[in-house]
């Protein structure tokens, strides 16, 4: 792990504003205070700025997971884990982490230190996600949906986590035909997922038949998590996720959830 006092190294790490020398003081303050405002500044302005991960992200994650593990504030711990769940969607340890070192300015031994520390620390993330489950069950609906993202990321279901990260408001989803890549709009209308050929705000939209199959069980993994956390806003949509659509362009039949995953691929 890159220590916070290794200033020369932090100055070499890529970040949204050039080097990353401002990050160690923020991490130190966060460890001391457990303040949500500092965590938000650190994560959303530096480590995941505009949805991008950097060398400083890999180097900082071990520190943040250590802070989460040592925190005695359940609300802070939950909030930090939910935020990190979003960041970790794009940091699948089974993929090539070398892609993050795109500027190739670091010595190989430093890259090795950063990647090794990240991979070792990320093992604790799944345990931390389980630790905050009691708080997540008592949270509001929006927080429960963010917990679902973190849980899926911890379970290495990164594409599925990205679905609920991208469509986090749960009011609309996009379906992309796996055969011809035509888009279909899916709108959550009073807990019913309706499909349209155009954006539903368009007066010329045409409704597409979305056929549900009560016997389908291909999303058991999702239903189990949603039931465990009691995410009332997603529960009624699982039936539709399990359904099928015939693409209005090529007529090929596809599973709804597979088409949603295709839309974020």
Residues 51-71 have pLDDT tens digits of 999 999 999 999 999 999 999
Those residues with Cβ within 8 angstroms of residue 208's Cβ, 6 or more apart along the chain or in another chain: 184, 195, 196, 197, 245, 246, 248
Cα→Cα distances 20→43, 181, 219, Å: 13, 40, 41
Are 128 and 89 within 8 A, CB to CB?
no
Phi then psi for 194, rounded to 5 degrees?
-105, 145
Of 265, 261, 263, 264, the residue nearest 176 (C-alpha): 263
- pLDDT tens string 131-144: 999 999 999 999 99
Write the pLDDT tens digit of every residue in 62-112.
Answer: 999 999 999 999 999 999 999 999 999 989 887 788 889 876 678 999 999
Indicate if the pLDDT at residue 193 is higher than 80. Answer: yes
Span 137-169, pLDDT tens digits: 999 999 999 999 999 999 999 999 999 999 999
User: What does pLDDT average to over the chain?
Assistant: 95
What is the pTM (predicted TM-score) of this model?
0.95
Cα end-to-end distance, the chain, whole Å: 32
Bridge partners for 255 per DSSP: 244
Instruction: Say yes or no to pLDDT of 214 above 80.
Output: no
Parallel, antiparallel, or unpaired for β 210-211 and 207-208? unpaired
| pLDDT for the residue numbered 208 | 96
Q: What percent of the chain has pLDDT over 70?
A: 99
Mean pLDDT of 16-33: 95
Strand, helix or coil for residue 234:
coil
Give the tens place of pLDDT for each residue, 230-259: 999 999 999 999 999 999 999 999 999 999
């Amino acid at each position: 792990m890159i220590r916070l006092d290794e200033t020369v190294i932090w100055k070499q790490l890529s970040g949204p504003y050039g080097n990353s020398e401002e990050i160690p003081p923020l991490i130190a303050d966060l460890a001391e205070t457990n303040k949500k405002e500092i965590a938000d500044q650190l994560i959303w302005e530096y480590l995941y700025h505009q949805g991008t991960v950097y060398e400083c992200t890999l180097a900082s994650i071990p520190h943040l997971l250590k802070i989460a593990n040592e925190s005695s504030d359940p609300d802070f711990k939950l909030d930090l884990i939910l935020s990190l769940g979003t960041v970790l969607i794009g940091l699948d340890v089974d993929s090539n982490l070398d892609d993050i070192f795109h500027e190739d300015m670091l010595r190989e031994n430093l890259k090795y230190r950063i990647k090794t520390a990240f991979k070792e620390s990320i093992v604790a993330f799944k345990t931390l996600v389980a630790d905050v489950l009691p708080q997540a069950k008592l949270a509001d609906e929006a927080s429960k949906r963010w917990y679902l993202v973190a849980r899926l990321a911890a379970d290495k279901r990164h594409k599925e986590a990205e679905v609920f990260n991208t469509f986090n408001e749960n009011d609309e989803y996009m379906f992309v035909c796996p055969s011809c890549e035509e888009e279909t709009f899916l709108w959550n209308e009073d807990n019913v997922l309706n499909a349209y050929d155009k954006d539903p705000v368009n007066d010329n939209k045409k409704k597409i038949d979305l056929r549900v199959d009560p016997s389908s069980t291909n999303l058991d993994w999702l239903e189990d998590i949603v039931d465990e956390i009691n995410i009332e806003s997603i529960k009624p949509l699982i039936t539709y996720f399990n359904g099928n659509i015939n693409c209005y362009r090529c007529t090929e039949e596809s599973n709804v959830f597979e088409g949603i995953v295709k839309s974020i691929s």
